[in-house]
Amino acid sequence: ALVLYDKLLPGSQVVTRLEDLGYRVAVPADPSVLEEQAARDKPLLILVELAGRQDAIVSVIAKLRKQPATQHLPIIAFGDGSSPASLESARQAGATLVVSEQGFLNQLPSLLEQALQVE
């Protein structure tokens, strides 16, 4: 799994929870390298926090959806529920699931299962 986050909490907690669930996790340093890293590493899924670099993150989600090597990857975007516009922009860019970070860690196993369902 690739996990891109700005805020230490909940970002580091997401990484730890994924590792506890048996995932191998990589944390890209910046949204600008996410597309390249996803194509190279072929992750099972991508989790992105919609925080300080929201425009760059939404842009990279759209780019991932346009590339044949990455368009199939499930993308879970999570962010502050008090900003519905940011959540909606990630949804429109092509995120598989868009959720509020409120209670996100508790729901993570079921969200992963939902995102990884093959249609």
DSSP state, 110? H
DSSP state, 72? T
Q: How far apart are CA 17 and CA 81, in angstroms?
A: 21
Phi-psi region of 57 (alpha: psi -120 to 50; beta: other; left: phi over 0): alpha
This prediction has a pTM of: 0.92
| The one-letter amino acid at 88 | E
pLDDT-based confidence at residue 2 (cuts at 50, 70, 90): very high
Phi-psi region of 42 (alpha: psi -120 to 50; beta: other; left: phi over 0): left
Name every residue whose Cβ is closer than 8 Å to that of residue 55 and which is 6 or more positions away in sequence. none
| Residue 119: per-residue pLDDT | 57
pLDDT by residue (tens digit) across 66-94? 999 999 999 999 987 767 788 899 999 99
pLDDT by residue (tens digit) across 44-55? 999 999 877 788
Burial of 82: CB neighbours in 10 Å, binned 0-12, 13-18, 19+? exposed
